[in-house]
Every structure is written in C-alpha cells, then in structure tokens.
C-alpha cells in the first residue's frame, strides 16, 4: 500500500474517507465480484474507524481501541490496512494537521506503535495477539 507523504494529501485523506475507499476498492483485484465487494467493505470499514482509533489513542483509552480492533483479529490483511491507515492519521499529527486527533509526542509514539505492530504482523505473529498488545500499549501513548 502506498504511503501518503504530502501534507495536502493527508488533509484530503482525513476529509474524504469515502473517496479514498472507492479508489482503493477500485484497485483491488478479485476473481469474483462477491470477494471484491467484501474487500471493498473491509477497506471502507478500516477507513471509517481509523479516526476513532486515533481518538482512542489521544484519550489513552485502550478498551475502546480493543473494541475497534476486535473485528480485525482474524483477517491479517485488513488488520495491516487498518494499522497503515492509523499510521497515516498519526503521521498527519506529526505535521501538525488540525484534523488529526493525535498531535506531537503522542503522534510520534502512535506511529512507532503502529510500525511495531505492522512489523509483527509481517513476521507471522498471531493477529489477535498483535492487535491486543497494540490496544494495550495505546494507554501509554
């Protein structure tokens, strides 16, 4: 998945989640239409909760984060996409975007946590364990 680097693009990403979801869904290749619709709905759901997850990180609310992440415990690809989206929202906070729920030091720590969780998912660690630890560590952000 391509990372968003430019601050204006990040602002547009935060303002227009449905447009980004449609673009990402368009790029998903699948053998059957049903699979494509399922993947598009997972992408839309991931983009819809990314700010909720960032708000939970800003409030240091690990319970809310765990509830939001529970739906992704069995789907490693969707969990990776969600963590990548969360990382983009936190990175917007590093650039002092007024729309990012986390700012400054919290944003830096959130980016580090997301990177560590993505690395563990890539290392074939159980997604349920990775997401549970990620949610618990959000309390320390």
Q: How far is CA 20 from CA 9, 11, 29, 130, in A?
A: 11, 12, 16, 26
pLDDT of the residue at 1: 45
**8 A C-beta contact, residue 27 and residue 1:** no
pTM: 0.65
Packing angle of the helix pair 7-15, 17-27 (nearest 10 deg): 100
| pLDDT tens digit sequence for 85-139 | 889 888 988 888 888 888 989 999 999 999 999 999 999 889 999 999 999 999 8
Helices (H), the chain: 7-15, 17-27, 33-59, 62-69, 76-94, 104-122, 127-137
**8 A C-beta contact, residue 90 and residue 115:** no
Q: Cα(42)–Cα(78) distance, rounded to whole angstroms?
A: 7
- Model confidence at 4, pLDDT cuts 50, 70, 90, reads very low
Q: What's the mean pLDDT in 26-40?
A: 51
């Amino acid at each position: 998945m391509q990372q968003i680097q430019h601050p204006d693009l990040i602002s547009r990403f935060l303002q227009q989640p449905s447009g980004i979801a449609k673009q990402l869904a368009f790029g998903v290749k699948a053998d059957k239409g049903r699979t494509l619709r399922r993947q598009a709905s997972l992408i839309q759901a991931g983009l819809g909760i990314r700010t909720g997850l960032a708000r939970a990180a800003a409030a240091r609310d690990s319970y809310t984060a765990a509830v939001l992440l529970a739906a992704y415990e069995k789907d490693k690809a969707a969990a990776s996409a969600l963590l990548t989206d969360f990382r983009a929202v936190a990175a917007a906070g590093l650039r002092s975007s007024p729309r990012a729920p986390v700012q400054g030091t919290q944003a830096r720590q959130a980016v580090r946590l997301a990177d560590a969780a993505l690395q563990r998912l890539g290392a074939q660690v159980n997604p349920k364990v990775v997401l549970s630890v990620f949610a618990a560590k959000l309390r320390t952000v």
